[in-house]
Amino acid sequence: MVNFPFDNRYVQLPARFHAQATPTPVRAPALLQLNRKLAEELGLDADALAQDDGVAILAGNQLPEGSDPLAMTYAGYQFGMWVPLLGDGRAILLGEVVDRSGMRRDIQLKGAGPTPFSRRGDGRAGIGPVLREYLLSESMAALGVPTTRSLAAIKTGEPIFRRRPEPGAVLTRVAQSHIRVGTFQFFGARRDDEAVQLLADHTIERHYPRANDAENRYIGLLDAVIANQAKLIAHWQLVGFIHGVMNTDNCSIAGETLDYGPCAFMDSYHPNTVFSSIDRRGRYAYRNQPTMAQWNLVGFAETLLPLFADEEGTAIEMAKESLQRFSTHFENEQLSGWRKKLGLTTEDPSDADLIEQLLKSMAENHADFTLTCRHLCALSADDPDRDGPAREGFDDPSPFDAWAARWRLRLRQENSSDVPRQQLMRSANPAFIPRNHRVEEALQAAEEDNLKPFETLLKVLETPYDDQPEHEPLSAAPRPDQIVHETFCGT
Ligand code: AMP
Ligand code: MG
């Protein structure tokens, strides 16, 4: 039997925080993918996990010793509409382990069968969405973006029925926690002040112990969540990631990217880009992500009001003051991230405009976001003749030429030398992102029992800042006939 060193705390919170739920066994579990490195980090025996016993656990056919399986209770604002009860309808928390670095991590099976929160859903997931989350979340981790992780993907040997029958699968998701803004909102909406306080105390102890040093520890909590969320969204913007369903139930209190549904990376840059088939109005378009995160944080702050001060007016003023800091945090993160992407090591007040001009010319000329930035890494500070690959991505290269001249002036201003700058830039501008057309290709092959393209892509995405010339086709932008315009939730 595989040993999971469980130490479960969430289950100790009162009964209204969770519902008992056990995974429903599946017919013929088979391992699709196991993340050995992550297993090691978690103190798990990867070899044992890959054997029948381990696979039985990862499929939900057998409960590991020490597990306290549960479905978490939460609510949420979905596309701005209040839903008073959501909860884990197809995910079951097996328990928590303290990893090798001392960090507490949730181990959760996603797609493990119905729970008391499943409503009319089957509690299952398909191989496509499971492998998609695996690939995207591991790619984000390798890019350095805070995210939940994927420990394993299992094929169930049973079909699930969506728009068409699909092979069923289970993902083992690992998170700093699955506490969401929507978890707080569930209790806040019920005016269950006692529960809000218990949850806030649990969250401080688990994620933000330094909040205890603040004058008001709950303002300390709010400030820390705001800072982490701002940092997260800035990261998304810097790599061109569009989450697609930034509902409050998908907004992690720990500041990790959570719930990989119809998310996608942009190919050609445009701030209005939306992929999700259910986001008809572009609520969660690329350019709106910071605003929507702020909107979610207002909802979070609202739930904490009774903890800030006895008098509501005072509490609201305190919350407002904290919420105002989001923009500063976000802009600082974004600006320092872009400076790195452009190889700038000093600060100049004109930098924000320099960045804006590049983005504007990319948008107007359908330039690929990732490739343009990566090509910039190879440019020389004093020789425009080597600009070829960067400028060729623009429909009309002249705005790029003008921009590059301005950028060079800025480089000269800080006496930038090519080699160290190029190295810095290569560490901030990935060569490889999970391109939608490549992801689709890999998932389609996996559905037809060919895991090779998935595994190759996964491997390449593990070192996204390396050139890997032998895998150049995986870094290329899609041809017009390869462009993926729309992505689906797949629930
Ligand atoms: P999501 O879109 O994955 O963030 O899920 C939104 C809500 O729907 C959550 O409460 C999920 O647990 C629930 N849900 C999604 N898919 C299923 C399913 N197949 N069966 C039961 N509940 C589901
Ligand atoms: Mg969700």
The string of pLDDT tens digits covering residues 318-361 is 999 999 999 999 999 999 999 999 999 999 999 999 999 999 99
pLDDT of residue 463: 98
Q: Give the tens place of pLDDT for each residue, 447-487.
A: 999 999 999 999 999 999 999 999 999 999 999 999 999 88
Q: Is the pLDDT of residue 491 over 70?
A: no
Q: Is the pLDDT of residue 159 over 80?
A: yes
User: Which residues contact residue 308 at a Cβ distance below 8 angstroms, ignoring those fewer than 6 apart?
Assistant: 216, 218, 219, 314, 315, 318, 319
Cβ atoms 156, 170 nearer than 8 A: yes
Q: Give the tens place of pLDDT for each residue, 113-150.
A: 999 999 999 999 999 999 999 999 999 999 999 999 99
Q: In whole angstroms, give the CA distance from residue 220 to residue 211.
A: 4
Q: In whole angstroms, give the CA distance from residue 240 to residue 242.
A: 7
Mean pLDDT of all residues belonging to the chain: 97
Q: In whole angstroms, give the CA distance from residue 18 to residue 117.
A: 10
Mean pLDDT value across residues 381-386: 91
Q: Give the tens place of pLDDT for each residue, 385-426.
A: 888 999 999 999 999 999 999 999 999 999 999 999 999 999
**Residue nearest (by alpha carbon) to ligand 1 atom 12:** 89
Q: In whole angstroms, give the CA distance from residue 102 to residue 107.
A: 15
Q: ∠ at Cα 168 (167, 172), nearest 5°?
A: 135
Mean pLDDT value across residues 243-247: 98
Is the beta carbon of 155 within 6 A of some atom in ligand 1?
no
Residue 280 C-alpha from the chain's centroid: 21
Task: Specify the DSSP element, H or E, that contains 34.
Answer: strand 30-34
Percentage of the chain lying above the pLDDT 70 cut: 100
Cβ atoms 186, 75 nearer than 8 A: yes
Q: Is the pLDDT of residue 20 over 80?
A: yes
Cβ atoms 454, 447 nearer than 8 A: no
Nearest to 206, CA basis, from 407, 65, 13, 468: 13
Is the beta carbon of 259 within 6 A of some atom in ligand 1?
yes
User: Is residue 1 very low, low, confident or very high in pLDDT (cuts 50, 70, 90)?
Assistant: confident
Q: Give the tens place of pLDDT for each residue, 256-301.
A: 999 999 999 999 999 999 999 999 999 999 999 999 999 999 999 9
Q: Where are the alpha helices (DSSP H) in 29-161?
A: 36-41, 46-50, 52-59, 127-143
Report which bound ligand comes closest to the CA of 89: 1
Question: Looking at the annotation, which residues are catalytic?
Answer: 249
Q: In whole angstroms, give the CA distance from residue 128 to residue 490.
A: 8
Beta bridge partners of 159: 167
Is the beta carbon of 261 within 6 A of some atom in ligand 1?
yes
Burial (CB < 10 A; 0-12, 13-18, 19+), residue 447, is: middle
pLDDT of residue 275: 93
Q: Give the tens place of pLDDT for each residue, 57-100.
A: 999 999 999 999 999 999 999 999 999 999 999 999 999 999 99
Cβ atoms 39, 172 nearer than 8 A: no
Contacts made by residues 474-479, CB under 8 angstroms, sequence distance 24+: 474/432, 474/435, 474/438, 475/370, 475/371, 475/374, 475/431, 475/432, 475/435, 476/371, 476/435, 477/267, 477/268, 477/368, 477/371, 477/393, 477/435, 478/267, 478/435, 478/436, 478/437
Longest dimension (CA), the chain: 68
Distances, alpha carbon 58 to alpha carbons 33, 61, 109, 114, 443, in Å: 11, 8, 7, 16, 20
Mean pLDDT value across residues 218-243: 98
Q: Is the pLDDT of residue 215 over 80?
A: yes
Is the beta carbon of 166 within 6 A of some atom in ligand 1?
no
* Residues less than 5 Å from ion ligand 2, measured at CB: 250, 259
